[in-house]
C-alpha cells in the first residue's frame, strides 16, 4: 500500500479512510494536525476491498512510529474495528455520513466486542478525531500540550466575542 506522507518527518498519526470519497470529511483532521505541526500520513484502505493491505498496515503501524490511527468509514464501517483488531495503537473511528444519515456507520464503529476498543467521535467528526489524537500525543509532549491549551482558549474567546456582538443587537 502506498503511503502518503512527508519524506522529512516520521508520521505520528495515520489518517485512513475507506475511499477517497471520504476525503472532504477526513481532511478536517489533516488540517488540524497540520496546524498543530503533528506529522501525519493519509491513505485510502478498504476493509472489504483490500483486506490484506489493511492487516499489513495495522500490523506495521507501531513499528513505523505511528502513535494514533484515525480511521474514517461509512455504511458497514468495518475499517476502524479491523485495524484495531491487528494493532495496539489507539484507533479513533470517524463514522462517515452516507446511508441512514451515518447511523449505520456510527453503530458499526461504536459496537466493538470486548478487548477491541475503538474510540469513536460523532458522525463526520474528523476535526474532533484530530483533536483527540493530538491530546493523546500531548500526554508526552509538553510543547504540544501548550498548543492545545491555546487552541482551547481560542475557542473560549470566540464565544465571548460572539456574546459581545449579540449584546449589540437591539430590537424595537
Q: Does the pLDDT at position 3 exceed 50?
A: no
- Looking at residue 1, its pLDDT comes to 39
What single-letter DSSP state applies at residue 113? Answer: P
Written as one string, the DSSP assignment of 3-53 is: -EE-TTS--SEEEEESSGGGHHHHHHHHHHHHHTT--EEEEE--TTT-HHH
Q: Which residue(s) pair with 43 in the sheet?
A: 16
Beta strands 68-74 and 91-96 are parallel
pLDDT at 113: 95
Which pLDDT does position 4 carry in this prediction?
A: 53
pLDDT for 85 equals 97
Q: Which pLDDT does position 166 carry in this prediction?
A: 78
The answer to whether 55 and 66 are in contact (CB under 8 A) is no
Strand partners, 119: 92
Amino acid at each position: 500500500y502506498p503511503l502518503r506522507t512527508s519524506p522529512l518527518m516520521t508520521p505520528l498519526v495515520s489518517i485512513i479512510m475507506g475511499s477517497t470519497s471520504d476525503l472532504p470529511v477526513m481532511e478536517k483532521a489533516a488540517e488540524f494536525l497540520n496546524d498543530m505541526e503533528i506529522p501525519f500520513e493519509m491513505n485510502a484502505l478498504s476493509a472489504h476491498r483490500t483486506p490484506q493491505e489493511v492487516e499489513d498496515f495495522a500490523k506495521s503501524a507501531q513499528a513505523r512510529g505511528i502513535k494514533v490511527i484515525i480511521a474514517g468509514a461509512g455504511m458497514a464501517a468495518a475499517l476502524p474495528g479491523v485495524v484495531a483488531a491487528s494493532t495496539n495503537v489507539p484507533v479513533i473511528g470517524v463514522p462517515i455520513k452516507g446511508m441512514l444519515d451515518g447511523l449505520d456507520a456510527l453503530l458499526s464503529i461504536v459496537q466493538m466486542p470486548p478487548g477491541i476498543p475503538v474510540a469513536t467521535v460523532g458522525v463526520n467528526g474528523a476535526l474532533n478525531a484530530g483533536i483527540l489524537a493530538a491530546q493523546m500525543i500531548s500526554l508526552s509532549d509538553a510543547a504540544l500540550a501548550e498548543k492545545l491549551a491555546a487552541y482551547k482558549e481560542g475557542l473560549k474567546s470566540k464565544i465571548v466575542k460572539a456574546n459581545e456582538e449579540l449584546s449589540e443587537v437591539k430590537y424595537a
